[in-house]
Structure 1
Amino acid sequence: MWAALRFRLLPAVKLYLLGFKVLLAQLLSKPLRLPVMPRQDGKVAIVTGGGRGIGYEVVRHLARLGAHVIIVEFEKLDLASLQSIHQFAERFKKRDLPLNILVNNAGVMLVPEGRTEDGFEQHFGVNYLGHFLLTWLLLDTLKDSGKSGPVSCVVSVSSSAHSVGKITLNDLNSCQHYSAHAAYCQSKLAQALFSCHLQQEMHRDGSPVVSCAVDPGMVDTALYQHLCTPLRLAQSLIARLFFRTPAEGAATVLSAALSPALNGDLGGGYWANGRREMTSASPFDSQLRLSLWEISLQLLGLQ
């Protein structure tokens, strides 16, 4: 009993301490402002979770710049269903459109224990596997679109929570012990590992696609709705005063999505606070990246 309690409490303590540290850093930093970006006429972008929060702001700015933006919401693409993802990708490809920017933004946080339609733990299934499959199915289109102009870009919206996450390769679905905090952190670490490995694969093949992971910071969105009632009430008050706005959170996402294509830099990297903070995958264990990649392909029936 005590071991199970410790397993539940420790990830929560780590995550909330990290949140306090991030919030303090945000308070001491200047507000983020989106740099001036050139027109994106003729480009096509897909943004998951584009109906609200950070995703909505990303969509709004891309549309202002002239991009053709496809907003992917739950009704059109259920990231908890592999069948729905396959169907969406097929519908998109039938439109014979290019794809220059893919923003893997949608996600869940601290949801109660549950499984997706295909039996995966919800954080792992929605935040990570769903976006892995979506990217994989659209990768050929991204490659083709990058050949005729600026490179295409895949932006995976991760979180600083990845730094306290742990990948348990023999229990990715958190069957042995369930902690919503641990599951969320694992999914965000998995996203960062995926982004790094995808960049390595694209660079090795000489493909005109860059892959970036982004930490938008602590942003005032609906992502915190599953906090327990006392914490949710406190978060609601603190968020209005100290969290970043969705527009500020979107600034880093947009910088990552547009800057590599503008300067021809194939470095990908990890972005936070409006800039690229890590230029390579070196902070992440290469063997862990490869193992997770291969297991994910097997889970998704891609091998």
Structure 2
Amino acid sequence: MWLLSVLVPLLRLYVCGIRVLLYQMFHRSFEMPVLPKQNERVAIVTGGTRGMGFETARHLASLGMHVIIAGNEREEGAAAVRRINKESSEGKAEFVFVDLTSLKSVRNFVQMFRDRALPLHVLINNAGTMLVPEKRTEDGFEYHFCLNYLSHFLLTNLLLDLLKKSGKNGRSSRIINMASATHYAGEINLEDLNKRTIYSSHAAYSQSKLALVLFTYYLQEQLTAGGFAVTVNAVDPGMVDTALYNNLWTLAQMLKKPVASVLFRTPAEGASISVYAAAASELDGVGGCYLYNGQKTQSSDLSYDLELQAQLWKRSCQLVGLQEA
């Protein structure tokens, strides 16, 4: 029983990975169109100090945005900001500390942002971790579940009123959730979201990415019903050569290196879908989509389960101490 509970998620995740690599072998990376200027718009990018997050922040700043990079590496954040501001003549970047493994830190970050009385037009929930050994956050949550999903759930909800105020018809505010093809392998056990019964890092990671997609669809339904000029989409960057793969087994790491150099996307290529979702004119007012390689794509059957979406939302509100809307 234990062995099956560990092996099945592992096999499912690696099958997803193989499918993505086969796709990338025969399809070129999405090429962004020319995007409109984003002057006077404000964006928050979590995990923007390196990899895809950095490339996303850099591109948005080049379009004229004021980009807040939210992360937990102060020196790395300062270096990222210096580089972006040196390159960008129209927009600007700054770093603000947040630890997404701490709900208190998320709340502190939101309060600091609110104190500045800035608008908020784009929120990119980019930060993530993958295949870490079993560990808990200071609040007692499973690490993937908290960092990849639950903290972003809280962050989004605490900033939602600002996004609603900042969005206008014809120029909506936008929320972008960083998904992954691994969500196709994901399952949600509402009675064991923290994987306390049997731990599998593969199952935990896949679950966190499925949770983000379920969250995306449910939130968009709420926003549409309320008539708000805010959209939320899930984006899938494909397999990208970033530090996210540092927790692979030693053998997998050895196999990954030659494959990555040929088949993986670069961080800039991976970031292109987030930037497109954040700034493309044709996506204004368009939400509730799963975007892969620049196209609207069908996500997993489970992700469209309306009852599961509602149940996960309710449970997430309970876990972070929010009143259910």
1:271 is aligned to 2:314: no
Q: Which consecutive residues of structure 1, in runs of 5 or more, have no partner in the other structure? A: none
Larger mean CA deviation between 263-272 and 245-254 belongs to: 263-272
Instruction: Work out whether residues 197 and 289 of structure 1, in 8 Å CA contact, stay in contact via their aligned partners in 2.
Output: yes
Q: Distance in 2 between matches of 1:183 and 1:55?
A: 22
Q: Distance in 2 between matches of 1:200 and 1:89?
A: 24
1:240 is aligned to 2:261: yes
Instruction: Name the TM-score, length of structure 1 as normaliser.
Output: 0.95
1:291 is aligned to 2:289: no
Q: Distance in 2 between matches of 1:149 and 1:267?
A: 13
Q: Which consecutive residues of structure 2, in runs of 5 or more, have no partner in the other structure? A: 74-96
Identity, in percent, stands at: 50
Deviations 1:1-23 (A, max 9, x none): xx101111111111111101110
Q: Distance in 2 between matches of 1:5 and 1:277?
A: 33
Q: Distance in 2 between matches of 1:262 and 1:35?
A: 11
Give the length in aligned residue pairs. Answer: 300
Which residue among 11, 14, 24 is the counterpart of 1:13? 11
1:131 is aligned to 2:152: yes
1:264 to partner: Cα distance: 3.6
Deviations 1:89-136 (A, max 9, x none): 000011111100000000010000000110000010110001000001
Indicate the residue corresponding to 1:170 in structure 2. Answer: 191
1:1-303 mapped onto 2 (5 Å cutoff) = 3-75=1-73, 76-147=97-168, 150-259=171-280, 264-278=284-298, 284-303=304-323
Instruction: Work out whether residues 230 and 285 of structure 2, in 8 Å CA contact, stay in contact via their aligned partners in 1.
Output: no
1:267 to partner: Cα distance: 3.3
Q: Distance in 2 between matches of 1:270 and 1:262?
A: 15
**Aligned with 1:211: secondary structure?**
strand
Q: Distance in 1 between matches of 2:54 and 2:216?
A: 22
1:33 to partner: Cα distance: 1.5
1:233 to partner: Cα distance: 1.9
**Aligned with 2:304: secondary structure?**
coil
Instruction: Work out whether residues 170 and 284 of structure 2, in 8 Å CA contact, stay in contact via their aligned partners in 1.
Output: no
Instruction: Work out whether residues 29 and 293 of structure 2, in 8 Å CA contact, stay in contact via their aligned partners in 1.
Output: no
Q: Distance in 1 between matches of 2:208 and 2:256?
A: 22
Instruction: Work out whether residues 111 and 226 of structure 1, in 8 Å CA contact, stay in contact via their aligned partners in 2.
Output: yes
Instruction: Name the TM-score, length of structure 2 as normaliser.
Output: 0.89
Q: Distance in 1 between matches of 2:161 and 2:120?
A: 9
1:147 to partner: Cα distance: 3.2
**1:73/1:209 Cα in 2 relative to 1: closer, same or farther (>3 Å)?**
same
Deviations 1:42-78 (A, max 9, x none): 0000000101111111011101000000011114110
Q: Distance in 2 between matches of 1:148 and 1:97?
A: 19
Q: Distance in 1 between matches of 2:3 and 2:303?
A: 31
Q: Distance in 1 between matches of 2:14 and 2:170?
A: 43
1:149 to partner: Cα distance: 6.1
Instruction: Work out whether residues 178 and 235 of structure 2, in 8 Å CA contact, stay in contact via their aligned partners in 1.
Output: yes
**Aligned residues: CA RMSD:** 1.7
1:268 to partner: Cα distance: 3.2
Deviations 1:193-252 (A, max 9, x none): 001111111000011110000110000000001111111121122111210111111111
**Aligned with 2:123: secondary structure?**
strand
Instruction: Work out whether residues 103 and 156 of structure 1, in 8 Å CA contact, stay in contact via their aligned partners in 2.
Output: yes
Instruction: Work out whether residues 34 and 248 of structure 1, in 8 Å CA contact, stay in contact via their aligned partners in 2.
Output: no
Amino acid at match of 1:83: K
**1:195/1:263 Cα in 2 relative to 1: closer, same or farther (>3 Å)?**
closer
Deviations 1:177-203 (A, max 9, x none): 000000000000000000111111100
Indicate the residue corresponding to 2:80 in structure 1. Answer: none
**Aligned with 1:124: secondary structure?**
helix
Q: Distance in 1 between matches of 2:35 and 2:115?
A: 30
